[in-house]
Amino acid sequence: MFFSAVVGFPLGYTSIAIKCYEIDMYKNLDNALSDLDVVININNVKSGNWNEVDQEMSELCKSAKGKILKLIIETPLLSYEEIEQVCRIALNHKGIHFIKTSTGFCGKDTTLQEVEVIAKTINGEKGIKVSGGVRNLAQIQAFIDVGATIFGSSSGISIIEEARKR
């Protein structure tokens, strides 16, 4: 059995040092840890502090080395330009394996257009995890069609049941 852990939930406001400490604690708990879903500091993104965003990604990659790192960027709170810029920076960090759309905490669903911006920017160099408002099979198919590769949903059982009926 493997498990995933979330770091910096929900809006990534904890310091880089605290996030790296969280990662180290999870890594030391059990060898079954496979994935880390880490929330980027949304305030730095919204403020256009791109050097700080880049530095955070660099430090997170060092701490998460050997694990799958999914960078949560909280797309429902970002403009398309901010999504694109975060993704461009992430492309410089090989230790980031996925761009994840949302924690599901911000009260707005991830949109198809947000995923399209991610897909266009990363051009297949990283995976895309869509979460935040994924409730049915039709949504999953639409997200796959624009480049999504994995999903997080609290509606997983009903989606599987819907798929089995087809």
Q: 128 pairs with which residues across the strands?
A: 99
Listed in order, strand segments (DSSP E) in the chain are: 3-7, 33-39, 68-72, 98-100, 127-131, 150-152
Active-site residue among 37, 67, 70, 126?
A: 37
Cβ contacts of residue 151 below 8 Å, gap of 6+?
A: 129, 130, 131, 134, 140, 143
Residue count of the chain, please give it. 166
For residue 100, indicate whether it is catalytic.
yes
Which two three-digit tokens encode residue 166? Answer: 């087809």
From the candidates 67, 70, 126, 129, which is the catalytic residue?
129
Q: Catalytic site residues?
A: 37, 100, 129
